[in-house]
Amino acid sequence: MIVKIENMDHNGRGIARIGEKVTFVPFALPEEVVEIRITKEKKKYNEAKLIKLLTPSKERITPICPYYNECGGCEIMHMDYKSQINFKKEKVKNIIDKYTNLKIEPEVFSSEHNLNYRNKITIHENNDKIGYMKKATNEIIEIDSCPLAMETINKYLKENKRKIKKELIIRTNEKGEIISSLQNNKMIIEINKLKFQIDINSFFQINNDICSKVFSYIENNINNCKTCLDLYSGVGTLSILASKKSKYVYSIESNPHSHANAIENLKINNIKNIKFMLGKVENEIKKINEPIDLIITDPPRSGMDKETIKIIKEITPKTLIYMSCDPMTLARDLNDLKEMYILEKIAIFDMFPNTKHIECVCVLNRR
Ligand SMILES: C[S@@+](CC[C@H](N)C(=O)[O-])C[C@H]1O[C@@H](n2cnc3c(N)ncnc32)[C@H](O)[C@@H]1O
């Protein structure tokens, strides 16, 4: 069947209409004429496979990755980088508008490198097959290297591939040092002249260049304040930024590895005005009983739970800085907060080039 692609969905798939029915075509771009085969027929939509590209888009490029069509880790590598950025900007604008009715123009920060930017990868092994786990399956796509990973990671993978049993996490820093779950030790990563100890089990942003831009943006948007609360604080990155402009910072994180790194990071950076609390945000936040001027929140993809949002509203900080890796849950939470807070600005950071994923930072002020 031959169709014309009209648009793109938030997952980076092309959208065609067959009669009234929407049909999702992965790897197809707007304006393209393509031959497709329907692979799934649902009541409200179809899913299809791109069989032949008849009229390619001006935005199309040849993906550099040999595993691109099967791996599923990247969704938009067939799009030139400028168009990827445009797609992400429109996606955030549309989601915010749709779920909050707020019209806002995001500021966009693109990535210095759109390849070899990942400072961490996870490789799987099953029945001697070694590679990435295909999204939403148990299937392993065998790989020798990943074009998104930093060179030192690919080198380490090549040298150690045959030692992998079940799972291997590999991490590197700006000096090219490596830690992995084969040699479970800690490493220092340096961003904007701050040093952060991380270990293989703690969270850290995966694109160093973008991480540096995010830190500068957040630092520039923090006004001097008395007390700050940093939720989902990881190894203490944003708390340490906030500590320079706050008298005191309380931080909450549930992962004990990250918590231990965070305490070490106080010593490494010679900081004395942060208290790191180990536990779930939804429990620990109830123990804060003093006025808070600023809350920084950076939850996992699932966003914040209702109870936490309720307590944030009771605390009523003057400013809220919300960092998010999922615009959908961000929009849901902003919708809950909009009665009390004005969304002053939103910035998009291209933390994950060639994928559909986006990092956002919002600045909100109390009405
Ligand atoms: C997106 S990361 C942010 C980390 C940190 N702000 C940074 O920039 O490196 C989210 C963090 O929330 C933690 N986390 C997830 N659910 C949590 C919860 N319910 N309570 C506290 N921390 C949680 C994770 O362990 C992770 O470190």
Distance (angstroms) between ligand 1 centre and the Cα of 75 equals 25
Contact 276, 253 (CB under 8 A): yes
Task: Give the three-class secondary structure for 249.
Answer: strand
Asked whether 238 lines ligand 1 (CB < 6 A), one says: yes
C-alpha distance from residue 356 to each of 57, 72, 85, 138, 327 (Å) = 18, 11, 10, 21, 11
How many angstroms does the Cα of residue 235 sit away from the middle of ligand 1?
9
- pLDDT on residue 20: 86
Specify whether the CB–CB gap between 208 and 119 falls below 8 A.
Answer: yes
How much distance in Å is there from the Cα of 202 to the middle of ligand 1? 9
Instruction: Determine whether the shortest distance from the Cβ of 210 to ligand 1 is under 6 A.
Output: no
Query: What does the angle CA 99 – CA 91 – CA 70 come to, to the nearest 5 degrees?
Result: 120
Nearest residue (CA) to ligand 1, atom 7:
234
Domains assigned to the chain: 2-60 (2.40.50.140), 83-113+205-366 (3.40.50.150), 120-193 (no CATH)
Q: How many of the other CB atoms lie within 10 Å of CB of 151?
A: 11
- The answer on pLDDT for 359 being more than 90 is yes
pLDDT at 182: 83
- Give residue 126's region: left, alpha or beta (phi > 0; psi -120 to 50): beta
How much is the pLDDT for 135? 79
Enclosing H/E stretch for 284 = helix 281-284
Neighbours of 23 (CB within 10 A): 24
**Ligand 1 pocket, 285 CB below 6 A?**
no
| Atom number in ligand 1 closest to CA 205 | 9
Query: Do 350 and 358 form a contact (C-beta atoms < 8 A)?
Result: yes
Angle between the N-to-C axes of helices 327-337 and 81-100, in degrees from 0 to 180, rounded to the nearest 10? 30
Residues 219-256: tens digit of each pLDDT? 999 999 999 999 999 999 999 999 999 999 999 999 99
Q: Is the pLDDT of residue 138 over 90?
A: no
Residue type, 25: V
When the pLDDT of each residue in the chain is averaged and rounded to a whole number, the result is 96
Provide the pLDDT confidence category of residue 162 given band limits of 50, 70 and 90: confident
Q: Which of 203, 274, 302 to mutate to test the pocket of ligand 1 (most atoms within 8 A of CB)?
A: 203
Instruction: Give me 308's structure tokens.
Output: 């936490």
SS3 label, residue 270: coil
Select which of 71, 74, 325, 362 is catalytic: 325
Query: Among 37, 3, 10, which Cα is nearest to 331's?
Result: 10
The answer to whether residue 142 scores a pLDDT higher than 90 is: yes
Is residue 184 over pLDDT 90? no
Is the separation of the CB atoms in 116 and 209 below 8 Å? no
Q: Is 255 in the pocket of ligand 1 (CB under 6 A)?
A: yes
pLDDT of 136 over the 90 cut = no
Give the pLDDT confidence of 37-85 residue by residue, as tens digits.
999 999 999 999 999 999 999 999 999 999 999 999 999 999 999 999 9
Is there an atom of ligand 1 within 6 Å of 254 CB?
yes
Q: Which two tokens stand for residue 251?
A: 């931080």
Pocket of ligand 1 contains residue 301 by CB under 6 Å: no
Q: Which of 253, 257, 321 has the most ligand 1 atoms within 8 A of CB, as the residue to mutate?
A: 253
Concatenate the DSSP letters of all residues of 151-180 into one string. HHHHHHHHHHGGG--SEEEEEE-TT--EEE
Q: Which amino acid is at 228?
A: C
Q: Cβ(326) to ligand 1 under 6 A?
A: no
Torsion sign, CA atoms 49, 54, 59, 63: positive
Residue ID of nearest Cα to ligand 1 atom 6? 233
CA atoms of 173 and 191, how far apart (whole Å): 10
What is the 98 CA–ligand 1 centroid distance (Å)?
27
Using alpha carbons, list the distances in angstroms from residue 253 to 124, 262, 301: 27, 9, 15
Q: Give the pLDDT band (50/70/90) at residue 183.
A: confident
Per the annotation, the verdict on 325 as an active-site residue is yes
**pTM score of the predicted model:** 0.96
